[in-house]
Every structure is written in C-alpha cells, then in structure tokens.
Amino acid sequence: MKPETNKTLIITYYWPPAGGPGVQRWLKFVKYLPDFGVDPIVYIPENPTYPLWDENLVQEVSDKVTIIRQPILEPYGFASFLSKNKTKKISSGIIPNKKKQSFVERMLLWIRGNMFIPDARIFWVKPSIKFLHNFIQENNIETIITTGPPHSVHLIGLGLKKQNNIKWIADFRDPWTTIGYHKALKLSKKSAQKHKDLEKEVMNSCDKLIVTSPTTKSEFEKITSNPIEVITNGYDVENISKKPMDSIFTLAHIGSFLSERNPRILWKSLSELCKENKDFANDFQLKLIGAVSKEVLETIKEFRLEGYVNHLGYVSHNEALQEQKSSQVLLLIEIDSEDTNCIIPGKLFEYMVSERPILAIGPEHADFKNIIKETNTGTFFTYEEKEALKSQIETYYNQFKQNTLQVNAVGLQKYSRKKLTEHLAQLITHKS
C-alpha cells in the first residue's frame, strides 16, 4: 500500500524559465519534497514578465510535480513604453544611484513604490484567490506555501487563509520593508505605512514563517509571535561538464552587481597591486558574470581597471557554475549597511562547493561572514579593512603562482538542498 502523502500547494512567481537566484530555492525544494512524503503542486503565472530568462532550467523541473498556471496582468509591459531598458533594470532590482537617476527613473520608482503596493504583481492576487479557493477544496490540499518576493504572493496566501481552514507557511527569501531597495522606492508616508500594515497582517495570519537568515528571524520576532524557522539557501549536486582552470589569476563576481555594491576598497587595492607588481598586472583578470550597474563600471574605469575586465553578461545557471569552478578566486560583495546583515546570497552556497576560495566584503555583522568562517571556505573583510584586503589578494595571487591556491572546506553537508528540504518537509507534515 502506497504511504499517504501531504498535498502541498506552493505559490510562487519565479519558476523556470525564469533566471536568476530567486527561482533556485523552490525549484530545488520541489525536486526533493517527494522523498519526504510531500506531494508538491506549484502555482505560477501563465504569462509572467521575468527580468531574466534561463530556458535550460526548464529541464531541471521535477517530473513528480504538478504545475498549474493562471494569467497575470503586469504593469511592466505598459511602463516599458517609457523606457524598456530602465524598466527591466528596476524590475530586476538594479536601482541607479540616487544622485544619477534620470527623470524617467525617478518617475518609475515613484510609481512602483506608491501605485503598486506591495509590488507590481498585485493584480495577480484577487484572481488567484478566486481560482485557488476552488482548487484547494476540490483537491484536498492540506498545506499552502507562499514565497516572496514579490510579497504580493503572500497576499494570495492571506486571502486563502481567510477563506479556508488550511495550514499556511509564508517563506521570505528576502525581508519586506527592511530590504535595501525598499528605501529607494520614494514612498509617501501613507504608502510606507501600508507596506508595514500588510507585512504585519501577513506575518500574524500565517501559521509559520520561514526565513533565510538568523538576522531576519530576529527582525521578524519584533513583528510577530508566530513560529519562525531559519532555512537557508543551499547547494545541489550539479552534473555539469568541467572547464579547465583559468590559466590567469581571475577574480570572478557572479550575479547582479548592484550600484550600492560598489567596493571602492577592492578597486583601489587591485589598482595599487597592478601598479606595484608587474607580474600581477600581467596575470590578473576581473571576470564579471551577470548584470552590472553603470555606476560599478564607471568606478572600475575611474581606477583604470577597465582593461582587466572580462564582462560575460548574463549566462545560464550551468554556465555560471562552470565559470565559478574554473575561476581562481570568487568575489562575494554585499552592501555596507545594517539593513544587509540579514542577506545571505544564494550563490554563497554554490561558491562553497566550487573548491575555490571566496573573497567576501560586507557589513561587520553580516550573517554570511559566520558561514564562511565555520566552513573554512574563504576570507571576509569589512569596507574599512582595505590594507588587510589588499594583503589577502596578494596572498591568493602568490598561492596561484605556486600552484597551491585551494580551500579545505568543512561542514558543508547541512547546507545541501536535500538536507534543507528534509527540514522543510518536517514543518509541512508537523500537525501542530
């Protein structure tokens, strides 16, 4: 007799062929949930406007998952008449430096923050509640999970919770009102309060919350007394063809390089090393993979490093994995702000199993600092530690020249996608 499984409805905006880090978390959870007695059903938009596309990820969708779709109306299509490029960048989270924003950019940000609360996917909420209410009744769904951003997805969960006696878990891949870009949305006082009110209602109406970092858990505990679990992102066993190691000293940054993630101490250190050490200058390359803001490129040019840049642009997830495994050192940069202490970039975990040293820069109390330290996968510096950073780059370079540049990682298993999914399944199947 086949053991009973828990039917779980997962409501998400990002799903293959969407590219970028937002899609990976639930793509991998869904892959392993059936191993732990959970039958996943994924609800996604039929006609989304994704800022990044990766058709290769479609092949990674588990054949054990049921997928249902409903149309979505998104204003980004209309906004693109003003500026398709600027709209796409803002949609993907690349917000220009405040001092350098054009009139169109300022207008788009104001509209995004004040007209579409909590975000531009708000028009998917009511039709989804109507459709899913009947679906839940007809298919004996026991649990629903909403994952944001976009946080409008949580409003679907809120509506369904009010209509159905059902268990609701809200997964926050990023915070809501304390995430870095929230302050850039030019919110009116009334709009800012509406965000906070919705955030509070969601957190106090769901049965459980999942967050990706200890700092976010601490922040949310001030808003709700509901149980909060930390389930970080993680790594999976990927079957990708290997590329030869780069023959030159490559420092690689993979993922979006936002305007606020612009570490002048790094550019200054690299500029000085190129001037002081001819061999370093001949061997060095800065490899940028993914969208890079105009401000970051301008600063690189300011320090006369543009000749060392190899900007590959956005590549598929598999290509990104190949590049990070073949690079000499991997760069992990986070915004220097208390608001980003909670951010643990998803790529960190893929970095950790790439067998390449991580060079990380971020705020002093960043949660990812502790993970790098406990797993012995690299080094971390604050934005004030320029000389120490420069010295570490030089050390890595000397090890590269001696063919001894490597890492000896420890304790990685608990960050595997399957192990993390086991934790998630326990939350889903627990009856309390």
Question: 387-428: per-residue pLDDT in tens?
Answer: 999 999 999 999 999 999 999 999 999 999 999 999 999 999
The pLDDT > 70 percentage for the chain reads: 89
> Is 0.85 topped by the overall pTM?
yes
For residue 241, is it within any domain?
no
Based on the domain organization, do 272 and 314 belong to the same domain? yes
pLDDT tier for residue 40 given thresholds of 50, 70 and 90? very high
At 259 the pLDDT is: 83
Nearest to 145 by CA among 3, 61, 43: 43
Helices (H) and strands (E) in the chain, counts: 15, 13
Q: Among residues of the chain, what percentage have pLDDT more than 90?
A: 72
Range 164-178 burial, b when 16+ CB lie within 10 A, else e: eebbbbbbbbbbbbb
When divided into structural domains, the chain yields a total of 2
| Token code pair at residue 300 | 């690189």
82/223 same-domain check: yes
Q: Give domain status of residue 410, yes or no.
A: no
Q: Are residues 70 and 193 in the same domain?
A: yes
Look at 95 and 313; give whichever has higher pLDDT: 313
> How many Cα atoms sit within 13 Å of 329 on the Cβ side?
27
How much is the mean pLDDT over the chain? 89
Do 389 and 422 fall into the same domain?
A: no
Residue 180: its pLDDT value, please?
65
| Predicted confidence band of residue 1 (pLDDT cuts 50, 70, 90) | very low
Q: 132 in a domain, yes or no?
A: yes
User: Are residue 58 and residue 186 in the same domain, yes or no?
Assistant: yes
DSSP string, 240-277: -PPPPPPSSEEEEEES-B-TT---HHHHHHHHHHHHH-
Given a cut of 90, is residue 66 above it in pLDDT?
Answer: yes
Pairing of strands 38-45, 6-11: parallel
What pLDDT, on the 0 to 100 scale, is given for residue 244? 92
Whether residue 156 sits in one domain with residue 11: yes
Distances (CA, A) of 258 to 89, 231, 291, 350: 10, 25, 8, 20
Judge whether 288 lies within some domain: yes
Eight-class DSSP state of 153:
H
Rounded-to-integer distance, Cα 183 and Cα 187, Å = 8
Inter-residue contact 248 to 272 (CB < 8 Å): no
- Tens digits of per-residue pLDDT, 49-65? 888 888 989 999 999 99
Least confident of 176-190, 244-258, 329-343: 176-190
Host domain of residue 177: 6-234+417-429
Mean pLDDT is highest, among 75-89, 195-209, 330-344, for 195-209
pLDDT of residue 187: 79
pLDDT at 222: 96
Q: Residue 181's pLDDT is what?
A: 63
* pLDDT of 304 higher than 90: yes
91 and 216 assigned to the same domain:
yes
Shared-domain flag, residues 190 and 270: no
| Cβ(419)–Cβ(237) below 8 Å | no
Does the pLDDT at position 186 exceed 80? Answer: no
Q: What is the per-residue pLDDT across 223-270, written as a single tens digit (0 to 9) for each?
A: 999 999 999 999 998 777 788 999 999 999 998 888 888 999 999 999
In a domain, 240, yes or no: no
Residue 193 has pLDDT above 60, yes or no: yes
What are the phi and psi torsion angles at 51 (to 5°)? Answer: -70, -25
Q: What is the CATH number of the domain that holds 167?
A: 3.40.50.2000
In a domain, 244, yes or no: no
CA distance 21 to 72: 22
Burial grade of 129 (CB within 10 A; 0-12, 13-18, 19 or more): middle
pLDDT bucket at 188, cuts 50 / 70 / 90: confident
Q: What is the pLDDT of residue 73?
A: 87
- Under 8 Å CB-to-CB from 121, ≥6 apart: which residues? 13, 45, 72, 74, 150, 152, 153
Q: What is the pLDDT of residue 98?
A: 55
Whether residues 56 and 126 share a domain: the answer is yes
24 Cα distance to chain centroid: 9
pLDDT for position 104: 66
258 and 226 in a single domain? The answer is no
Domain contains 285: yes
Are 167 and 255 in the same domain? no
Long-range contacts of 221-224 (CB under 8 A, 24+ apart): 223/199, 224/200
Task: Give the residue carrying structure tokens 């800012």.
Answer: 192
Residue 316 is predicted with a pLDDT of 87
Of 89 and 312, more confident: 312
What is residue 105's predicted lDDT score, i.e. its pLDDT?
Answer: 67
Residue 411 covered by a domain: no
Residue 154 and residue 259 in one domain = no
Q: What is the DSSP string of 53-119?
A: B-GGGGGGS-TT-EEEEE----THHHHHHHHHHHHHHHHTT-PPPGGG--HHHHHHHHHHHHTSSS-
